[in-house]
């Protein structure tokens, strides 16, 4: 990122990561530092690097009488605007770029913004590059059905791709990766280029509850990328419920933890069977930690 500091203008030259459907804001502040009324000319030139030349980018900015403007390699790629400012006045503008929902990995635009006063005293140029990359989102499901929904989305994506390939030979899968951490209940993570199409893939799907608005940075979930031992967080004396196996639904207390085999020995508390039983650590759910005992 390059920040050029002028007394009469504020704008940045930078590279911006975006995903399909995301809005990107580029602020611009112009100050008339002279005492007389002056006119400033804004020129925007857009250069494209994208797989599909028909993909359209949209831009809107404050005080633009034209409203939303569409840019594409096959259409408009330049825009001009004049701003009149009284002496010592300031105008704050906001360029809002809508990243196209149908973009591909590596697609980008380069916005070359030039601002100059018509009296020739002031001039400045700024370059912003917006490039598209996959995004990680959170998908909602009924608790305990995370893996089921994840697998069903993969199957739905495969069928959807088959249909789209008949129309577009260059079509790609929507689901790029899925991660369903054991400790995350009712949610799992999904990587995609087109988050708006995931609800479509999950339409009418049992236990699918939609997607969470917004994106997730990889740094936010980095601690979940390395699988934790199934016994991690378990304590002797913890009150648990068995969620798998022949004793599913039974309540028990942890009597022994075998970290090497990732097994626990439990004793049932609502059964006449008092003999301790060994079960896999992943087959239990903690109801109350033994640390509270």
Q: What average pLDDT is seen over the chain? A: 91
Token pair, residue 112, equals: 């070359």
How far is CA 262 from each of CA 182, 252, 267, rounded to the nearest angstrom?
Answer: 14, 17, 17
Token pair, residue 197, equals: 């199409």
Predicted confidence at residue 1, as pLDDT, reads 38
Whole-number percent of the chain with pLDDT over 90:
75
pLDDT surpasses 70 at 273: no
When pLDDT is cut at 50, 70 and 90, the band that residue 3 belongs to is very low
Token pair, residue 198, equals: 């995931």
Strands (E), 102-220: 108-117, 123-132, 135-141, 177-179, 187-192, 208-211
When pLDDT is cut at 50, 70 and 90, the band that residue 125 belongs to is very high
Average pLDDT over residues 43-68: 85
Domains and CATH numbers, the chain: 2-132 (2.60.40.10), 136-219 (3.30.70.940), 239-292 (2.30.30.30)
When pLDDT is cut at 50, 70 and 90, the band that residue 271 belongs to is confident
CB crowding 223-234: b at 16 or more within 10 Å, else e: eeeeeeebbeeb
> pLDDT tens for residues 136-188?
999 999 999 999 999 999 999 999 999 999 998 989 999 999 999 877 899 99
Instruction: Give the number of C-alpha atoms closer than 13 A to the C-alpha of residue 123, restricted to the C-beta side.
Output: 5
Which pTM value belongs to this model?
A: 0.73
Q: Which pairing describes strands 9-18 and 123-132: parallel, antiparallel, or unpaired?
A: parallel
> pLDDT tens for residues 237-265?
999 999 988 888 899 999 999 988 999 99
- Tokens 């611009």 belong to 28
8 vs 64: which has the higher pLDDT? 8
Residue 220 DSSP symbol? G
When pLDDT is cut at 50, 70 and 90, the band that residue 5 belongs to is low
Distance between terminal CA atoms of the chain? 54
Beta bridge partners of 190: 137, 178
pLDDT surpasses 90 at 108: yes
């Amino acid at each position: 990122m390059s920040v050029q500091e002028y007394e009469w203008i504020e704008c940045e030259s930078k590279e911006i990561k975006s995903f399909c459907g995301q809005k990107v804001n580029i602020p611009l502040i112009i100050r008339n530092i002279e005492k007389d009324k002056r006119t400033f000319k804004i020129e925007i030139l857009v250069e494209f690097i994208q797989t599909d030349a028909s993909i359209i980018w949209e831009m809107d900015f404050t005080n633009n009488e034209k409203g939303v403007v569409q840019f594409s390699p096959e259409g408009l790629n330049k825009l001009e605007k004049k701003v009149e400012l009284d002496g010592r006045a300031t105008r704050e503008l906001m360029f809002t770029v809508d990243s196209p929902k149908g973009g591909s990995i590596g697609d980008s635009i380069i916005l070359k913004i030039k601002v100059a006063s018509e009296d020739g005293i002031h001039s400045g140029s700024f370059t912003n590059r917006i490039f598209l990359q996959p995004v990680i989102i959170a998908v909602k499901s009924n608790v305990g059905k995370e893996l089921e929904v994840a697998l069903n989305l993969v199957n739905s994506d495969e069928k959807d791709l088959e249909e789209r390939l008949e129309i577009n030979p260059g079509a790609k899968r929507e689901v790029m990766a899925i991660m369903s951490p054991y400790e995350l209940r009712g949610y799992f993570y999904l990587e995609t280029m087109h988050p708006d199409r995931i609800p479509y893939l999950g339409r009418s799907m049992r236990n699918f509850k939609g997607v969470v608005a917004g994106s997730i940075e990889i740094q936010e979930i980095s601690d979940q990328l390395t699988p934790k031992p199934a016994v991690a967080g378990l304590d002797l004396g913890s009150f648990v419920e068995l969620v798998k196996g022949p004793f599913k639904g039974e309540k028990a207390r942890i009597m022994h933890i075998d970290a090497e085999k990732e097994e626990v020995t439990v004793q049932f508390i609502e059964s006449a069977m008092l003999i301790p039983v060994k079960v896999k650590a992943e087959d239990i759910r903690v109801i109350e930690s033994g640390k509270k005992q």
